[in-house]
């Protein structure tokens, strides 16, 4: 599924135009990004949580030359699935057997 398909589903299920649904989805995504960027995190009970995690500086290797390079420290977003989400995915996989 991509963003346009999500917009179509939200619009249909809530009797909205695709433009209205698109603005709502964009607002939700913006709120999540702003919250995580501030370091607050974002949690949706049953679905999952988003948070910022820090990755320490480290040494790596250039795969073409084999030369050792320094990789700078950085902050990345991380998503952890909630229990209900995990259960729904696990149940679906179990039905395919």
Burial readout 35-68 (b: 16 or more C-beta within 10 A, e: otherwise): bbeeeeebeeeeebebbeeeeeeeeeeeeeeeee
Domain shared by 55 and 17, yes or no: no
Domain shared by 48 and 81, yes or no: yes
DSSP 46: T
Domain that holds residue 17: 1-39
Q: What share of the chain is helix, strand, coil (3-state, %, to 5)?
A: 45, 30, 25
Domain shared by 62 and 93, yes or no: yes
Domain shared by 90 and 46, yes or no: yes
Total domains, the chain: 2
Domain shared by 92 and 61, yes or no: yes
Domain shared by 31 and 48, yes or no: no
Residues of the chain with pLDDT > 70: what percent? Answer: 94
Query: How many Å apart are CA 12 and CA 80, to the nearest integer?
Result: 29
Domain shared by 11 and 47, yes or no: no
User: 91 falls in which pLDDT band (50, 70, 90)?
Assistant: confident
Q: Among residues 8, 26, 5, which one has the least CA distance to residue 17?
A: 8
Domain shared by 82 and 56, yes or no: yes
CATH number of the CATH domain containing 49: 4.10.520.10
User: 94 falls in which pLDDT band (50, 70, 90)?
Assistant: low
């Amino acid at each position: 599924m991509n963003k346009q398909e999500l917009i179509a589903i939200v619009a249909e299920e809530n009797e909205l135009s695709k433009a209205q649904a698109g603005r709502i989805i964009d607002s939700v995504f913006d709120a999540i990004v702003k919250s995580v960027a501030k370091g607050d995190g974002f949690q949706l009970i049953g679905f999952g949580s988003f948070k910022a995690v820090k990755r320490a500086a480290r040494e790596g290797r250039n795969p073409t030359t084999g030369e050792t390079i320094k990789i700078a420290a950085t902050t990345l977003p991380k998503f952890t699935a909630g229990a209900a989400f995990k259960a729904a995915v696990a149940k679906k996989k179990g039905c395919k057997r």
